[in-house]
Amino acid sequence: MKKALPIAFAVLWVAAVFAVIYWYTPRFPAAGEGPAGVKGVLDLRGTNGSDRLIRLDGEWEFYRGKLLSPQDLAVSGEEELTAADRTRASCCKAAGPGGSTPAAASGLEYVTVPGKWENYAGAAGDKNGNLGYGTFRLKVNMDKPAASVYGIKVHNIRASHRLFINGEPVGGSGVPGTTAASTTHSNVPYVRYFPMAGNTLDITVQVANYRFYTGGIAFPILLGTQEQIQGFRDYSIGRDMIVSTGFFLLGLYLLVLFRMRRTERSWLYFGLFTLTGCVYAMTQGEKLLSALLPSLSYEWFTRIQFGSGISTEVFLLMYAHTLLPNRIPRWVVKLCVAGVAVRLALVLLTPVQVFS
C-alpha cells in the first residue's frame, strides 16, 4: 500500500489542477447552439451573435477537385445561382450521405461542415475519397458589427489549406496543391484578425490532403470579435501548457523516486506513462509541439502523435500489472505488448496514410 501513496497523491494533485482549469476555461460553443449555414449562407442577423463565439457550422459550398481563389469564384459564374436556382437544385437531388446536397447543374455541392469529406457524395453519387483537393466557401451575413476588428480561429483542417476572407488571403497551414508533389502538408491551429468593412463576410478555404486517412474541415471554425478570439486562444494555450507541464513534472517526480528505490517498478511504469502522455498532450489541442519545434515536418509530427498515444497504452498496462499481478495474466500483458510493438513499427516504418 505504501508504494502506491506517492502515485495517489500526485494523481490527486493533477486532478485538482485539471478541475480548476476546466472550470475557468471559456466554454467551446456546442453544436447546434447557434444558427447554421444553409446553402452556403450563414445568417447571423437578429441573433445577438456578437456576444459569443460563433461556430461556422452548416452547409458550405464545396467544389471538389478544384482549388478556386475568390477571384475565380467571382468570375466563374458558379456562385451566381439565384434563390430559385438554389431551390431547384436542392429539390432535384435529395441530400446525399454525409450531409452532401449536389447541385449538378452548377458544378458545386452543399456539404456539412465540420465533416469528413470522403463522406460527401457527388452529383453521380460517388464519394470524394480521403485524398485529393477542393474548395469550401461560406457567406456570413451579420448585423452592424460589434467591433471594428474581428477574428477567426482555425483548429483542424486536414491536411493543408489556405484561407481567404473577402477576397484577401488571411491565413493557412501548409500549401495546398493539385498533386502530392505540389502540396506541403501541415495542420497547425492558428488565429487571424481582419477589419470589418461591412456586414458580410465571404470565406473561402482551399484544402488538399494526400497524407492523412481523412480530409476536409474536421473541426469547427470559430468567428468572433478580436477580444473573444484572443481570449479563447490564450486560455486554450494556457490550459494545454498546464496539462503538459503537469504530466511532465509528475513523470519526472516518479522517475526520481524510482531511481532512489528501483524495486518499485510501478513508479517507473506510471512515470513513463505520464511522460508519454505529456508528449501526446502537446500534439493535441493547440499543438504546442509545433510551436516548440517549428521545423518538425508533418510526417514526423504525426508519427510522434500516434507513437506517443500508443506508448501510453502499454505503460499503463504494465503499471496495472505491477500493482495487480494476480488480476492480469502475464500472457495478456505479453499479447498486448506485442500488439503495441507491431503498431509502433507501422508508425515508424510506413507512410502516414497507412498507419493513420
Average pLDDT estimate for 1-23: 65
Whether the per-residue pLDDT at 123 is higher than 70: the answer is no
How much is the pLDDT for 132? 93
Task: Please say whether the beta carbons of 113 and 188 come within 8 A.
Answer: no
CATH numbers and ranges of domains, the chain: 2-22+232-355 (no CATH), 41-220 (2.60.120.260)
Residue 7 is predicted with a pLDDT of 65
The Cα–Cα gap between 34 and 40 comes to 16
Q: What percentage of the chain exceeds 90 in pLDDT?
A: 64
Q: Can you give the pLDDT at residue 102?
A: 45
Q: Torsion angle of alpha carbons 190, 196, 197, 199, nearest 10°? A: 110
Closest CA to 101 of 39, 28, 45, 143: 39
Q: Which amino acid is at 116?
A: K
Contact assessment for residue 111 and residue 93, using Cβ atoms and an 8 Å cutoff: no
Give pLDDT tens digits for 109-121. 999 999 999 888 7
- Supply angle C-alpha 49, 52, 58, rounded to 5: 60
Give the cell for residue 205: 478555404
Residue 159, preceding peptide bond in cis (omega within 30° of 0): yes
Residue 315 dihedral angles phi and psi, to the nearest 5°: -70, -35
**What's the CA gap between 202 and 166, in Å, rounded?**
5
- CA dist., res. 239 & res. 18, Å (int): 9
The pLDDT confidence band at residue 15, using thresholds 50, 70 and 90, is: confident
Least confident of 48-57, 197-206, 225-234, 300-309: 48-57
Cell of 343: 503498431
pLDDT of 93 reads: 42
Residues in contact with 129: Cβ distance below 8 Å, sequence separation at least 6, in sequence order: 118
Confidence of residue 1 (pLDDT cuts 50, 70, 90): low
Overall average pLDDT of the 280-301 stretch: 96
Whole-number pLDDT of residue 9 = 67
| Mean of the per-residue pLDDT values of the chain | 85
Q: In the prediction, which pLDDT does 92 show?
A: 37
Provide the pLDDT for residue 126.
52
Give the model's pLDDT for residue 95. Answer: 42
Residue 210 confidence (pLDDT) above 60: yes
Q: Which residue, 219, 213, 151, is CA-closest to 185?
A: 213
Joined grid coordinates for residue 78: 458558379
